[in-house]
Amino acid sequence: MVHLLQQHLPAIFCLLLFFYRATATADANFTMSRAAYYPNSDTKGTENGACEYGAFGATLNNGDVSASASLYRDGAGCGACFQVRCTHPHYCSPNGIVVVITDSGASDGTDFILTQHAFTRMGQSTDAGAALLSLGLVGIEYRRVSCSYPNKNIVFKITESSNFPYYLELETWYQQGNQDIIAVQLCEAVNLTCQLLSQTYGAVWAAVSPPSGPLSIRILFRLFTIGLYRGFMVLITMIHQIFLLK
């Protein structure tokens, strides 16, 4: 059930699971707002976002990422996907783009500070995208949509701050669907004694004096649009061995 990734990264484990997919869709109604962009982001996002994704967050979703103070929601919004389309009558594509929240930030009453890469892709052509950049700030409408990462499963990455056996810190990658992770428990796989992890910041969950031995993770989701709670258990049998390598 566990696949290890070893690509010049700290220890990572990927959950190969029958991932819960929400049957409810995002509200069909868009919210009106404004969007800006941040400089030096023509190909990727920042590596220093509040969600603590690092280099992974800079290239997530091919660089179509965004900062948002209102949608960050103390880290619950990290990894959430939104369809964003600008409203200029001459420049904007009717479909807009899908961006992933990786940071917190606001400017001039905006709900999104996009990468330049994402900002220009709201245009209906290359020239239209360049025209949008020259405006700097544009009217938009947006809605929450399901994230989809083909051939990917949700990943819990053991961060470099982890210190066996005293402290374990996990970061969530490739969160699918349109639900928020609102609670994570780390459980002993044999007797299912569980410890509730704390959300320290962004997409990071941590445990002081974590359980030992083969472990499982229990995750509680909340559907963003209707507040419905969904929980399931995913068995992880190698997390202890990976933790030992830290």
pLDDT, tens digit (0-9, with 9 covering 90-100), for 171-210: 999 988 888 888 899 888 788 788 999 999 899 999 999 9
pLDDT of residue 61: 95
Task: Describe the strand order of the beta sheet including 229-236 as a list of residue ranges.
Answer: 194-196, 179-188, 215-223, 229-236
Look over the chain and give the mean of its residue pLDDT values, rounded to a whole number. 82
Q: What's the pLDDT band for 25 if we cut at 50, 70, 90?
A: very low
pLDDT, tens digit (0-9, with 9 covering 90-100), for 111-131: 999 999 999 999 999 999 999
Structural domains in the chain, CATH included, are 31-145 (2.40.40.10), 150-244 (2.60.40.760)
Burial class (CB in 10 A: 0-12, 13-18, 19+), 115: buried
pTM greater than 0.85 (yes/no): no
How many C-beta neighbours within 10 Å does residue 67 have?
A: 28
